[in-house]
Amino acid sequence: MAEEIWVSSVGSNSQLFNKPGIREKHYGQDWAPPKFEHDAPTKEQANNSRRHVLGEKLKREEFVEAAYVFDPKRWSRVKDFFAVDGFFAVKGKLAELLKDFDLGDGELVEFPIHEMDKTTQLPGPFYFLNFGSQKDCLLPEDSRNLSAGPVNPKTGFRRWRAIEPKGEDIAVSASALGGPDLWVDPKFSGKIFMSGRLHDAIEGAKLKIDFRFAKTRIVPE
């Protein structure tokens, strides 16, 4: 295994998520209308999306139930990493690649995407990326170019932000080398961490997806 840890800012790559031509249906609700503009989410939907980004494991019913394509031209341009109403999803070569790695408590959650008739199912398969695994590995005091969020007055917990870290801006503890290949650090908003082994496999697959990778600096314990 490559003794490296990489961090991805793929969530800030708006080109991947810009008007993919699909809309969704949440459990117990009607299909969203065939338009690019989204209505304000319910409190529950917004909370589920927030928890997803923070790497918490969601139940199947907390994700979107299904999606449909209303703009086939735009959908045809969608890469193997995309989003459905705020939830990261994968398909194709990337999905198959991830099945060969240790996701820890995370998993790929299959869901259907339909044609415009909302009945005919596309071949797929399509999966939500249910992170599930968290590692408390970020070392803010040893990192560069981080912005500190507010401290929770009850817990003392603080989150950190960085728009797009560069090489070795982010320092992590050596403990991050153990355990799953893919995870989220709850202290570092909107970023995805992965092992060197998974990073190298993604790069080798030539997926034509800009994951906005940055190699971290591993601090010995």
| Alpha-carbon gap, residue 193 to 10, rounded angstroms | 11
Q: What is the DSSP pairing of strand 182-183 with strand 126-130?
A: unpaired
pLDDT tens digits, one per residue of 106-130: 999 999 999 999 999 999 999 999 9
- Of 103, 93, 87, give the one whose Cα is nearest residue 135: 103
pLDDT of residue 1 exceeding 60, the answer is no
Task: State the average pLDDT for the chain.
Answer: 94
Beta bridge partners of 182: 194
| Alpha-carbon gap, residue 66 to 24, rounded angstroms | 6
- Of 151, 167, 181, 191, give the one whose Cα is nearest residue 54: 191
C-alpha to C-alpha distances, 124 to 46, 133, 160, nearest whole angstrom: 27, 25, 36
pTM: 0.93
C-alpha to C-alpha distances, 164 to 85, 167, 211, nearest whole angstrom: 22, 10, 11
**Max Cα distance, the chain (Å):** 56
Q: What pLDDT score does 2 carry?
A: 58
pLDDT tens digits, one per residue of 160-194: 999 889 989 999 999 999 999 999 999 998 899 99
Tokens of 2: 């490559």
Residues 6 or more apart in contact with residue 47 via CB below 8 angstroms: none
Residues 6 or more apart in contact with residue 182 via CB below 8 angstroms: 98, 101, 102, 103, 104, 106, 131, 133, 192, 193, 194, 195, 198
